[in-house]
Amino acid sequence: MTQLFFTAIAQVLIIGLVVGAGLPALFALGVRSMAYGAGGDAETGHQVGHPAGRVAGVLIFAVVLAAIALGIAIIVSSGFGYKVSFEHIVPTFIEK
Amino acid sequence: MDVSLIILCLVVVTALAFDFTNGFHDTANAMATSIATGALKPKAAVTLSAVLNLIGAFLSVEVALTVTNAVINIQDKSGAPNVALTADGGFTLLMIVFAGLVGAIVWNLLTWLLGLPSSSSHALFGGLIGSTMAALGVSGVKWTGDGSKLDGVLGKVVMPAFASPVIAAIIAAAGTWLVYKITQGVAERYKESGFRWGQIGSASLVSLAHGTNDAQKTMGVITLALIASGQWTDTENVPFWVKLTCALAIALGTYLGGWRIIRTLGKGLVEISSPQGMAAESASAAVILTSSHLGFALSTTHVATGSILGTGLGKKGAEVRWGVAGRMVAAWMITLPCAGLVGAIMFWIGNGIGGLFGTLVVFALLCGLSGYMWWRSKKAPVDHNNVNEDWDRATPETQVPASAQA
């Protein structure tokens, strides 16, 4: 039982770190990207960020949103007797 | 009207009442941080959370009929109740479930009065363990399972309870540290609006996950009671009205909002900012979803509290009020035995008197105790108006766990 327990903990911790800390970090990168070229902490000017930064920012936010959508898909599908498989890297729904 | 039918109705009503307390006890887990940082207005936050809980409850069509199997032996693997317990028209089994639910509700209300976030699933399991021990003795409880998987009181309740807050705290601390590191030097206006949206999104995910996880526990308990009294025979499905009423009960409870607990989690533990709130809710959502996917049973409350504590550890110079954290941990440790004790006493009273009258006495006790605690709460009300009041400068009455006056 102890071994099962530590395996479970390790799994939750590793996946949790990747998703639970990684996604906020990615999101922060998106925020940083949006603000690229718009001045720092002092906030002297109110000019808009550099267009390249904005494009990168939107892309990053899209990745975060996709990850959340995947999370919701996992909850919903398990309720309907399906599970999400990563076997072919692209997530697909398979019957349990 | 048949006597056993009246008893069954009381059990169903009590189960829905538990579901309701489960909802308002756990609003804080998802929404405390968004309310504390002002990302959402208090009323808007509880409404959003309620709607997502309602949706979540309907999304979880998986049969949760065997929910009691985690800790006690009153059902077989298919979910059918033990034959020995239904020989008397299901009275013994109904009384076990009923007394257990009463124990869980009483403990949930007491911890709410004290503003302490404690686990509703621990309260439910505790109450059921207590009433089962009173009815069947120590052997009625599944302490460790057969060792082939994490099971029983030890594997499904005790061990996860110690691990989950620590895991959540580590992840939230790492997330917070990264977020602050990455956005160092970025203009404040970008951070504020960006992280507010991040926070609302991550908190919504926690609400949805809560609805899918917790509502089905009550659905399982009610269906078990229906089977025990011969009103339902299908162990593969939950009646639709059960699903509907459970979903509504948990959503209504969430909407009412356990403001006292929201206040403790949002303001009492750590002074929280938007980036921290987002990191905390993302960590909670990730841990809850990963664990339920892996079949590792844990409590939303323990995870959410650990995450919020973790964001305090991950931000340089943030203050964690360890006194408040200590009181929470103390409450967690005694949740199971306390709910169990109430459950056991209720079983002795109900079964001792017996029949319809015994059930009515227990129900009256539940109403009396609940009414008393509600009345006590009115002496120092915490609602959507004062939920965000400064913690240190607040009057001792609204700094709920610190005064612990009840």
Looking at residues A62-83, what average pLDDT do you find? 79
Of A12, A41, A83, which to mutate for an interface test with B (greatest number of B Cβ within 10 Å)?
A12
Which of B284, B293, B302, B308 is the best substitution to test chain A (most A C-beta atoms within 10 A)? Answer: B293
Q: Shortest CA distance to B56 belongs to which of B249, B203, B209?
A: B209
What confidence category does residue B73 fall into, taking pLDDT thresholds of 50, 70 and 90? confident
- pLDDT score recorded for residue B151: 78
The bridge status of strand A92-95 relative to strand A82-85 is antiparallel
Number of H helices, E strands in chain A: 3, 2
Q: Is the pLDDT of residue A71 over 80?
A: no
CA dist., res. B369 & res. B275, Å (int)? 41
pLDDT score of B101? 95
CB-based contact A20 B285, cutoff 8 Å: yes
Average pLDDT, chain B: 87
Bridge partners of B75, per DSSP, are B81
**Mean pLDDT, to the nearest integer, of B308-316?**
90
pLDDT band at residue B227 using 50, 70 and 90 as cut-offs: confident
Residues A24, B178: C-beta atoms closer than 8 Å: yes
For B197, nearest residue in chain A (alpha carbons): A27
Query: Nearest by CB to B175, which of A25, A38, A79?
Result: A25
Contact criterion met (CB < 8 Å) for B186 and A32: yes
Residue of A nearest to B57 (CA): A79
pLDDT tens digits for range A18-58: 999 999 999 999 988 888 776 555 455 556 667 888 888 89
Show residues of chain A in contact with B144, CB under 8 Å: 1
The pLDDT tens digits of the residues spanning B173-187 come to 999 999 999 988 787
Confidence tier at B23 by pLDDT (50, 70, 90): very high
Q: Which amino acid is at B38?
A: G
Distance to chain A for B161, nearest Cα, Å: 12
Query: In this structure, what DSSP letter does residue B141 have?
Result: B
**In this complex, is the C-beta atom of B200 within 8 Å of any C-beta atom belonging to chain A?**
no
Place B210 in a pLDDT band, splitting at 50, 70 and 90: confident
Arithmetic mean of pLDDT, B132-143: 88
* Local structure of A16: helix, strand or coil: helix
Q: Which one, of B304, B299, B305, B303, lies nearest residue B322 by Cα?
A: B305
Contact yes or no for B278/B199 (Cβ under 8 A): yes
What number is the ipTM of this complex?
A: 0.84
Domain boundaries defined on chain A: 2-95
Measured between CB atoms, which of B144, B149, B289 is closest to A75? B289
Which residue would you say has higher pLDDT here, A12 or B391? A12
Looking at residues B7-20, what average pLDDT do you find?
Answer: 94
Point out the residue among A4, A20, A79 whose CB comes nearest to the CB of B286.
Answer: A20
For the ranges B32-41, B80-89, B150-159, B352-361, the lowest mean pLDDT is seen at B80-89
Residue B395 to chain A, least CA–CA distance (Å): 36
Interface contact A71, partner B, CB < 8 A: yes
Could you tell me which residue, A80 or B396, shows the higher pLDDT? Answer: A80
Q: Crossing angle of helices A22-34/B159-182, nearest 10°?
A: 20
Query: What average pLDDT does range B252-281 have in this prediction?
Result: 90
User: What is the predicted pLDDT for the residue at B405?
Assistant: 38
* Least CB–CB distance from B167: residue in A9, A43, A68: A9
Query: pLDDT digits over B382-402, tens only?
Result: 888 888 888 876 655 555 554
A8 interfacial to chain B (CB closer than 8 Å): yes
